[in-house]
Amino acid sequence: MTDDKYRAPEGMTLEGRLFRPATLAELAEAVEQAFDYRGDVTLELTSGVKIEGYVFNRYPSGPRPFLQLFAKQESGTIEIPYADITAIAFTGKDTASGKSWEAWVAKKESHRRTEADQAEAAAKVRGHL
Amino acid sequence: MAVPISQMYTVAKYVLTQRLKGVKRYPLVLMLEPLFRCNLACAGCGKIQYPDHVLDKRLTPEQCWAAAEECDAPMVSIPGGEPLIHPEMPDIVRGLVARKKYVYLCTNAILLERKLDDYTPSKYLTFSIHMDGLLEEHDLAVCRDGVYDVAVKAIRAALKRGFRVTTNTTLFDDANPERVRAFFDEMMKLGVEGMMISPGYSYQKAPDQKNFLKRNRTRDLFARILSDRKRTWRFNQSPLFLEFLMGQREYQCTPWGNPTYNIFGWQKPCYLLQEGYAKTFQDLLNDTEWDRYGTGRNDKCADCMVHCGYEASAVEDTFGSWSGFGRTVKATLLPGHVSR
C-alpha cells in the first residue's frame, strides 16, 4: 500500500467510501482518515457490532492503539481498540465538503440568497436567532 | 489606554511570576469553546463543520470552571460556535468572574442585546464583538445581510449599560487598507474600549481557502493598515504583536500560550490545528511535540501569523528583558511609526 491509499483526491470527499484494511498499517491509515473526516463514520467490529459516530481522537502508538468517538445515538464517549475494527465506512455527510468560496461565488445570486435564507431559518427553528 | 491598568497588572504579575519560577511553558489565555453550534455560517470559519449530534453537545459550567482552574491562565477567551446560544453561558461567565479571570466573551452579537440582562458589568467581563469591517465587508464575511447593523446596535446597548466592549476582526487578503482604517474610525466613534485584529488562518476545513493570507501579503497588508496610525485608535492587544504583523519583528510561535479546551478535550497543539486531544492540561503540555510546530517547522504553520500563536510570543518578548520592555513602551508611545 501507499501512505495515501485512503486519502481523498484534492477537492473530493471520502463520503460513501468503505475501507476494509488488510494490514495494521492500512488500519492505522484508515483511522487517520476517519479522524480527519468531518462527518460520522460506521465502524464494523470483530464482534459483528456496528457503531456509527464521530471519531474525534485516536492514540495510534502504544501497546494498545485505540480511537475515541461520540456515538450518534448515545451520550458520552466510546473507546475502541484498533484491533477490534474490521471496516470503516464513511457513512455520514462530509460537513466540510462542497462549501468552498469558489462554489459560493459561482452560484447564482438567487441560489446564494436561498442558501442564506435556509441557514437563517434553521437557526430560527433552533431558537438561536 | 485600551487595556485597564488592573488587567495589565494582573497579566504582568502572572508572567513575571512564571518566569521567576522558571516555568518554561505557561498559558496566557485559555481558549474555551463550550460549543461549536453557531447561528451564522461564515465563509472562512473552520469551527462549525460537524455532524448535528456533535454540534448539539456543550460543555457544562462545571467543565468550563474546571478547565479554567486546571490551566490557571489569567485570561479566558470564549469563542465557539456562538457562545450566547449556550443556555448556561451566564452561569459559566459568573463562575469565571468569581475566579477573577478576565473573560472575553466572543460573539457575533446577534443575540447580545436580548441577553444583556443575563450579565452584570464587571472589569472582568468584556464582550468581544466579531466585526470584520464596515457594513459591506462584514455582511459579506458572515454571509448574511443586516448583521453589521444588529451588531452596532448591540454594541451601543452594551456600552450604555456599562459593559466593557471590544471588537475582534479577522482580515483576509481582499481587505482594502483604507476601508479597514475607516472601519477603525467607526469603531472608535462607537466608543469601544479597544480593537483586536488578526490575519485569518487557512483552516483545512474552512470553506474559504482562497481568501486566506500568505505571510508576505499579511505583512504588507498590515503595514499599510497600521502605519501612520491615528492616535484615536486603541488596540486591545500587545503593541509588539501589531509590529510583528507589520513585519517589523520576527517571532516564533508560542502554541501553548493560548491552549484550547472544548468538548473533545485539550486540543493539540493549538487553537487552529487539530492533531489530537489530551485528557488534562498537564498531558497537553507533556505529550505535545512542541518543536514540530511554528514558523519553519511545519507546513501547516508556514503562513500562520494568528494572534493565538504569536501574541503570547510578543508578551513574552515584553517581559523577557529590559530591552523588550523598552520596545513595548516605544511601540505604545509611538505606534505605527514606520511610514506607509
**DSSP codes, B121-136:** --TTEEEEEE--SSHH
The residue segments making up the domain with residue A62 are: 18-89
CA distance A22 to chain B (A): 25
Is the model's pLDDT at A8 over the cut of 90?
Answer: no
Report yes or no on A74 lying in a domain.
yes
Same-domain pairing of A84 and A127: no
Residue of B41, B85, B277 with shortest CB distance to A57? B277
Q: Where are the domains of chain B?
A: 5-18+48-333
- Would you tell me which residues 3-42 of chain A have a C-beta closer than 8 angstroms to some C-beta of chain B? 35, 38-40
Same-domain pairing of A57 and A118: no
**CATH number for the domain including A25?**
2.30.30.100
Enter the DSSP assignment of B299.
G
Same-domain pairing of A31 and A67: yes
Same-domain pairing of A56 and A110: no
Find the angle CA(B101)-CA(B106)-CA(B108) to the nearest 5 degrees.
160
- Would you tell me which residues 152-181 of chain B have a C-beta closer than 8 angstroms to some C-beta of chain A? none
Is the model's pLDDT at A129 over the cut of 90?
Answer: no
The C-alpha cell that represents B274 in the structure block: 487539530
Same-domain pairing of A84 and A105: no
User: CA-CA distance, A23 to A85, in Å (whole number)?
Assistant: 11
Q: What is the largest CA-CA distance in chain B?
A: 52
Q: Which overall architecture, per CATH, does domain B5-18+48-333 show?
A: Alpha-Beta Horseshoe (3.80)
Q: Bridge partners of B221?
A: none
User: Cβ-count burial of B144 within 10 angstroms (0-12 exposed, 13-18 middle, 19+ buried)?
Assistant: buried
Hey, are the CB atoms on A116 and B143 less than 8 Å from each other? yes
The stretches in chain B having pLDDT less than 50 are 339-340
Same-domain pairing of A103 and A129: yes
- Would you tell me which residues 269-308 of chain B have a C-beta closer than 8 angstroms to some C-beta of chain A? 276-277
Report yes or no on A70 lying in a domain.
yes
Q: Does any CB of chain A come closer than 8 Å to the CB of residue B208?
A: yes
Using an 8 Å CB-CB cutoff, list chain A residues near B54.
Answer: 54, 56, 70
Same-domain pairing of A23 and A65: yes
The C-alpha cell that represents B327 in the structure block: 520596545
User: Using 50, 70 and 90 to split pLDDT, how confident is the model at A1?
Assistant: very low
pTM listed for this prediction: 0.91
Domain count, chain A: 2
Q: Does any CB of chain B come closer than 8 Å to the CB of residue A100?
A: yes
Amino acid at B173: D
pLDDT value at residue B303: 86
ipTM of the complex: 0.87
pLDDT in tens, A66-109: 999 999 988 889 999 999 999 999 999 998 876 655 566 666 67
Same-domain pairing of A80 and A40: yes
pLDDT value at residue B336: 65
Same-domain pairing of A109 and A59: no
pLDDT in tens, B19-32: 999 999 999 999 99
Q: Does any CB of chain B come closer than 8 Å to the CB of residue A67?
A: no
pLDDT in tens, A35-51: 999 999 999 999 999 99
Hey, are the CB atoms on B207 and A104 less than 8 Å from each other? yes
Hey, are the CB atoms on A54 and B205 less than 8 Å from each other? no
Same-domain pairing of A53 and A108: no
